[in-house]
Amino acid sequence: MSSDKPLLSQFEPSYAPNPQPHHHRRHSSLKNNPLGCLSETTPISSWVAHETQNCKAYNLKELEENLAPVEGKTIADNFLERPTLQPAGKEFWSAELHKQCPPRERKRLVSWGGVMDLRHLKALEISGASSSRVQDLNRPQTSRRSERFLQISMQLEENIPHHDNPRLIHINDPKKTNDKFDFSGNEIRTSKYTLLNFLPKNLFIQFHRVAYLYFLAIAALNQLPPLAVFGRTVSLFPLLFVLTVTAVKDGYEDWRRHRSDRNENNRETLVFQLNEFHPKRWKKIQAGEVVKISSDETIPCDMVLLGTNDSSGIAYIQTMNLDGESNLKTRYARQETNKLVLEGATISGVVRCEQPNRNIYEFMANMELKGQRFPLSQSNIILRGCQLKNTEWAIGVVVYAGQDTKAMLNSAMSSSKRSRLETYMNRETIWLSVFLLIMCVVVALGMGLWLKRHETQLDTLPYYRKIYFQKGKEGKKYKYYGIPMETFFSLLSSIIVFQIMIPISLYITMELVRLGQSYFMIGDQHMYDSSSNSRFQCRSLNINEDLGQIRYVFSDKTGTLTENKMEFRKASIWGKNYDNSYPDADASLDKDVEAKGVTVDRRKWKLKSEITPDPELMKLLYKDLSGEEGIAAHEFFLTLASCNTVIPILTESSSSGCDGVSGGSPVSIDYQGESPDEQALVAAASAYGYTLFERTSGHIVIDVNGEKIRLEVLGLHEFDSVRKRMSVVIRFPNHTIKVLVKGADTSMFSILDNDRPAEDHIRHVTQVHLNDYSSEGLRTLVLAFRNLTGEELAEWQHRYEDACTSLTDRSVKLRQTAALIECNLTLLGATAIEDKLQEGVPEAIESLRQAGIKVWILTGDKQETAISIGLSCRLLTADMNQIIINGNSENECRKLLCDAMAKYNVNSTSCSSQITKLRRKAEPDYLELPSQTKSSSMPQQCEGEEDTPNFGPLALIIDGNSLVYILERDLESELFDLATSCRVVLCCRVAPLQKAGIVDLIKGRTDEMTLAIGDGANDVSMIQMADVGVGICGQEGRQAVMASDFAMGQFRFLKRLLLVHGHWNYQRIGYLVLYNFYRNAVFVLMLFWYILCTAFSTTSALTDWSSVFYSVIYTSVPTIVVGVLDKNLSDKTLLKYPKLYAAGHRQESYNMSLFWITMVDTLWQSLVLFYVPLFNYRESTIDIWSMGSLWTIAVVILVNVHLAMDIQRWVFVTHLAIWGSIIVTYGCMVVLDSIPLFPNYGTIYHLVKSPAYWLSILLITVIGLLPRFIFKVFHQTFWPSDIQIAREAEILRRRRRHIGSKTDEVSS
């Protein structure tokens, strides 16, 4: 039997006849909080997170005066808007608020407590509800936040929609729905291009690279007759080659998208037409149509549920295609529509919903049906891409179709980051541009001076006489433009000749190398997580080398360092602690309980994870529930089983009843929920005999020790990060109405009923238990309840309906409504859940610290829990001095920071004056560091004293409430100085945006590379803010993975990712960039020396094709192979000696010094390359094309041998690439010299016969590389790096093993 009351909201409030609830003896003193007054620490809106101890109410009038008007209305006006169904005289907020609550100190909004939407003033999530300041976001921000953080914060909230113009959907009337509004059809298109726009659009996208524009300008200059240095076709080849390769790649990828779109759009589903359901292609579905989905089918569009095969209107969906979460979620059809669907009646009504937006976790709408209006929320909509599970069929009306669906709106989001090394590369590119300009100016000035010197001889000189003579006949006239213009044309011609000084091939080479590196990272079996069957993912190919330079790692705790697989361990009930860790408790329990004549019926349910109950607590529950302790335990587990959103999934056996209560074999029950904490708590309740086994839209059924209890759910306030708690309003079978609440201790103790001195002891003992649990690293929640009278229920229902049906600020109004009943609670107890550390976390953190990487933990857990986890994962050690900053005001935070900096001699210019001022004033309320600071016994030293005490390593522990003041005020410098002086930083109780703020604090004030790693949606802002973002494929969905640059299954893989792949990638890419600069520069300088010897003319001894093929074919493959496969050290060595990672911190593979050394070496090699053949052939009559052929092959051999000298790991592919490129160069030269039309026809055949040819190549290679060889020998002998020492040790070990194996073979 199902209730016609929905789970999340009610249309018609049930006015109870105000029955006298059954109060137990200890509840007789329960006082009802006046509904006109909101409870302490519960925000009247999302703006307030502080409440004085003298008042339990908020003054709405004062708040209205303090906050700026929004869109022409006061805050009160915005909140007081209500539907027409609101009864007369019942305002949303009573005017009696001002009478009941005294005025309070004005507050200002805090933008660092959470996310605020500037259009609708969305809620602030403020960590630490004890005190916080509030600041109006409509005023200019005075805090010095960087633009990066502001962009992130706005991006997170840009999806909050406008509701001024709601979308009207006429149910089962698509024509009327689409008449006035041109809604999107259901056809989707994820492709970028069409046949018509592919070429222009692709070229437009590619030419966003400035280098491409540079080479396009060079090619255009070469088309001008006075500047035609190369053949006009040849000059276009490099750019056309690059553009063609990229276009083919983009075209193939887009063709695959077209094919996928076509398959998707042509799928079929059932649509209601002509009083029947007929198949219809997805692309033809329109908004307003009624669609029927069968089990295991994919949802074609965003639909509001109208009905299901279940009488309660419940449907189960899987959202893996949308957010990656595999657990089932429940969606509900309204009872009003579900009843009509089951009766086969036609539904006609109007759905008013918000405009399309990206927020997949929120939906605001209402439905008008038969003159009545009721609310719709996120629990009533099923989204495109989800699958219907465990439900025979479901029927819904289309509200968003095609590109308007939330899945399609989210598909366009992508993050783009640039490599730090790539920015440095741009700096060197500017220097190369300066060199290029200098060379061109030298050639142009030389040309001008030469022309001036030979001005009287121009008519007799080749290329300058007025008329050419061809075979005795007069040819065309030579156009002479005068010395100034000839000089200018010489400058432009020089730019064309020296164009490859800026390597166009470097961009494609880096892309291919990064792609190859990503391939091997993905295929690394050491980073494969078998438990989640997840491989390493490279979601960004732009920042592989940044992995080798990370200095700061910012990590979430839950699900990142821990498994996020919760196990119920302990409970504090009515002031008494119960432990769940008795190995033989299960056997002894049954004997003891059955000996008392009590039937144990708990084994009829078979849980997925078995929990061993505490025997003492079980005995208490099986006694006669008459005493206070027994009643509290009973209500404690009823709250655990009721106050949640968990879905029980039953696997029925043939002999068991359908409801799981009848006799027979055990029924397997699996709890599905969005929170692992809730699943663990509900499973624990079941282990103690309180089994939730049925949930519908209006009721839940709990098996209490064999007795089936049906509880009517009147409403539910889900957990949110502002309230930090959830509550459910339940009507019991005896008509008692109770609100059951669970939440964080910081948000629960402030809303308990403080007017009961008899229960003060219970609160104190529970707080002690909570501290003990946290110190053991356990996650804690507090449970409480209160009884509601009929009047309170009616008042709450009115306001609950008003909030649920509102299309503006619904979440804010729901929080306000929850505050009405979440007050004056009676404490029941607390739970402690264990979240074990992941495998290998301590070892990984220790290795990262040895590598010089600072690991900071940013978590929302309690301070004691974070400290305990820090100790267990070896982040905190016993010898560390813990600096704990827990401030409740700006002045207090300033004092704590400055005092800590003075005590530990942390230099700070901004804090020194403050320290002096504080010491002089000697205020009586001056706060010393907490007693937890381990170095309190050490003598206090004044700044500047020579005899400074030697403090041990420091650890900073700070809570989110302090960060509210520090990050928003002028305390950032003090925090930065203190935090960077500490080896470890733990931030507790932090909000998501505070995590991003901490990352931005380091990122904006240093040049160090930052990495953020997390597994949940609350880590997204932190991941996007950091230079490198890593997502964990964990239990909290895939929001973090989708926002990350790299993704993995376990935190321990971070050790291998950074120390091995990061080191390799940085070393490879750094060398690759320097080598490309050298390779092109040595070729250009060789041409420069030649031009200086040919009267500063821009003629070339090399053929046009040789110049083009040099960087595209002759020398490109070896650089790619080395960039992908070269390894200076083995992975075992890098993991054994984590300190080798510091080479990336010192930028040993790429820095300005290496660049200048490389350029000096390039200059020498280019001189050798040019003058050695000139010296060898000084007495010969060799033609210029033969000399050019010699220079071509010599420079290819030179740069390849240069590369071979630096290769650390030789494999077959490396040999093939290096020596194969030389062979390919010879082959290409033979082909080019065999074409009669080319001026170099036959030169290679004559050159190879000359000994001077081979002698020149040998001398060029030896003399050119000799200084480099000598420099490397001396440097590695007298100034070896850590990498070189480790490499030599690795080679020695390898030789010993080889000799040892040979010795074994001989002895055998």
C-beta separation of 27 from 735 below 8 A: no
Q: d(Cα 302, Cα 307) in Å, to the nearest integer?
A: 15
DSSP at 934: T
Active site residue 556: yes
**Which residues is 715 bridged to in the sheet?**
729
278, containing H or E segment? strand 276-281
How far lies 1284's CA from each of 1140, 1147, 1210, 1275, 1278, in Å? 10, 15, 17, 10, 11
DSSP at 793: H
C-beta separation of 650 from 667 below 8 A: yes
Of 556, 753, 1019, 1161, which residue is the catalytic one?
556
Complete edge-to-edge strand list for the sheet that includes strand 881-885:
537-538, 1046-1048, 1028-1032, 1009-1014, 550-555, 854-858, 984-988, 954-959, 881-885
Q: Over the range 622-638, which residues count as b (16 or more CB within 10 Å of their CB) and which as e?
A: beeeeeebbbbbbbbbb
Q: Look-up: residue for tokens 């706005």?
A: 154
DSSP at 226: G
Sequential DSSP letters for 814-880: HHHHHHHHSSSBEEEEEEEEEEEEPTTHHHHHHHHHHTT-EEEEE-SS-HHHHHHHHHHTTSS-TT-
Q: Over the range 523-546, which residues count as b (16 or more CB within 10 Å of their CB) and which as e?
A: ebeebbbeeeebbbbbbbebbbbb
Strand, coil or helix: what is 779? strand
Q: d(Cα 740, Cα 827) in Å, to the nearest integer?
A: 10
Q: Using the Cα atoms of residue 1116, residue 1117, residue 1122 and residue 1123 in order, give the sign of their dihedral.
A: positive
Q: d(Cα 214, Cα 1099) in Å, to the nearest integer?
A: 22
C-beta separation of 817 from 1029 below 8 A: no
940, containing H or E segment? none
CA-nearest of 693, 696, 793, 692 to 735 is 793
C-beta separation of 653 from 605 below 8 A: no
C-beta separation of 738 from 785 below 8 A: yes
Query: How far apart are the two ends of the chain, measured CA to CA in Å?
Result: 83
What are φ and ψ of residue 645, in 5° steps? -120, 25
What are φ and ψ of residue 689, in 5° steps? 100, 10
C-beta separation of 289 from 397 below 8 A: yes
For 440, residues 6+ apart whose C-beta sits below 8 A from its C-beta are 491, 494, 495, 498
Q: d(Cα 77, Cα 85) in Å, to the nearest integer?
A: 18
Q: d(Cα 148, Cα 158) in Å, to the nearest integer?
A: 15
Give the rounded distance of the alpha carbon of 1106 from its chain centre: 47
Sequential DSSP letters for 1091-1132: HHTTTT----SS-HHHHHHIIIIITHHHHHHHHHH--SS-HH
Q: What is the 3-state secondary structure (H, E, C) of 40-95?
A: CCCCCCCCCCCCCCCCCCCCHHHHHHHCCCECCECHHHHHHCCCCCCCCCCCCCCC
Q: Roughly what angle, to the nearest 10 degrees, separates helices 972-981 and 909-921? A: 100
Catalytic residues: 556
